[in-house]
Amino acid sequence: MIIFVQIKQNMKSQKKTRILFVCLGNICRSPAAEGIMKKMVKERHLQDVIEIDSAGTSGWNDGSFPDPRTLAHGKKRGYDFCSISRKFVSADFDRFDYIVVMDSNNFANVKALATTQEEVEKIHLMTDFCTRITSHDHIPDPYYGSASGFELVMDLLEDACEGLLHHLKVY
């Protein structure tokens, strides 16, 4: 009993790792990544050590819920995508340890706001964390596509979120 209490105290005193997922509009890919990662973190009881959010580089959808197709495809897999869209801002570099972007355009847009090398080093491509599906170098935007595009995005994000958890070495 004493050992378990000590472990819980150590986890609480540890600084949280903060992850921000970023796509263009913050209504398809990044809120899906946020929801998938939140579920994985909760299943592993890591809420005390990992914090997750999402944002978009455009700000076009500020205040919006995720796209209904994203919600539907996530629900089929047991996810709750309940985030509210917001725009990525420079202050996010101070708030987050990892800024995980969905494609090279998002990478360039976020990098353009970085003012230090330390901030640039926080930016990562989501697919860099894929371990099973290595045929994609980005998470494709499903917005103008069909249902199969949303399913591919879910597959890629599940793989990448697992890989990111392993990268963080938190379990």
- Provide the annotated active-site residues: 23, 29, 141
Residue pair 134/160 in contact by the 8 Å Cβ criterion: no
**CB neighbours (10 Å) of residue 98?**
18
Q: How far is CA 144 from CA 28, 51, 98, 149, in A?
A: 11, 30, 28, 9
CB-based contact 71:37 (threshold 8 Å): no
Q: Which helix (H) or strand (E) holds 99?
A: strand 98-101
DSSP 3-state assignment of 60?
A: coil
Strand partners for 87: 56
